[in-house]
């Protein structure tokens, strides 16, 4: 076998070294820089993506904080509007209640006047009726007519709650 020939070992080793050196130079000049460049680009891309993700995360956090602040402000505004509307409604209700009270007081006063007038009318009619009945009864019992002035005074006193 020619590979095992001892006389050919040195030239084979020289050619092995030359081939290794050439292969090393080709790899060192072309393949390894391309691989290193690809790895560097990949690392830069990953770092850029991580930086962009961190920036987006910070922006999102800022937006969430702004949203929560806006939401809290809106809630406080709604509470203020509700409180203010409640005060307006309470004032309007108090005003309507006052108007209703005044209207009812006027209606009650009017009703009391009507009742007093009707009572006076009834009492006047009652006095006249009592006067006529008294005249008739006295005439039947005594056989003569009664003194209208004296009988009217006694009836008026009796109706007003006076003594006999």
Q: Output the six-digit token pair for 34.
A: 């391309």
How many separate domains does the chain show?
A: 1
Residue 5: φ, ψ to 5°: -70, 125
What is the crossing angle of helices 32-142 and 148-159, to 10°? 150
pTM above 0.75, yes or no: no
Flag whether 164 is in a domain: no
- Domain residues for the domain of 144 are 2-159
Flag whether 127 is in a domain: yes
Flag whether 56 is in a domain: yes
* pLDDT string in tens for the chain (164-residue length): 566 777 778 888 899 999 999 999 999 999 999 999 999 999 999 999 999 999 999 999 999 999 999 999 999 999 999 999 999 999 999 999 999 999 999 999 999 999 999 988 888 788 888 888 888 888 888 888 878 888 888 888 887 775 54
DSSP annotation string for 17-64: HHHHHHHHHHIIIIIHHHHHHHHHHHHHHHHHHHHHHHHHHHHHHHHH
**Residues with Cβ < 8 Å from 92, sequence gap 6 or more?**
none
Flag whether 130 is in a domain: yes
């Amino acid at each position: 076998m020619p590979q095992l020939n001892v006389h050919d070992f040195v030239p084979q080793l020289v050619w092995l070294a030359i081939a290794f050196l050439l292969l090393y130079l080709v790899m060192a000049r072309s393949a390894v820089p391309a691989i290193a460049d690809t790895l560097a680009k990949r690392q830069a891309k990953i770092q850029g993506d991580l930086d962009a993700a961190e920036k987006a995360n910070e922006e999102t956090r800022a937006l969430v904080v702004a949203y929560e602040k806006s939401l809290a402000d809106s809630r406080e505004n709604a509470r203020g509007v509700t409180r203010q509307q409640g005060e307006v409604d309470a004032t309007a209700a108090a005003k309507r209640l006052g108007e209703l009270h005044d209207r009812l007081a006027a209606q009650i006063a009017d009703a009391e006047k009507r009742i007093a007038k009707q009572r006076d009318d009834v009492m006047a009619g009652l006095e006249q009726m009592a006067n006529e009945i008294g005249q008739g009864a006295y005439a039947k019992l005594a056989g003569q007519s009664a003194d209208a002035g004296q009988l009217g005074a006694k009836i008026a006193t009796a109706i007003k709650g006076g003594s006999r």
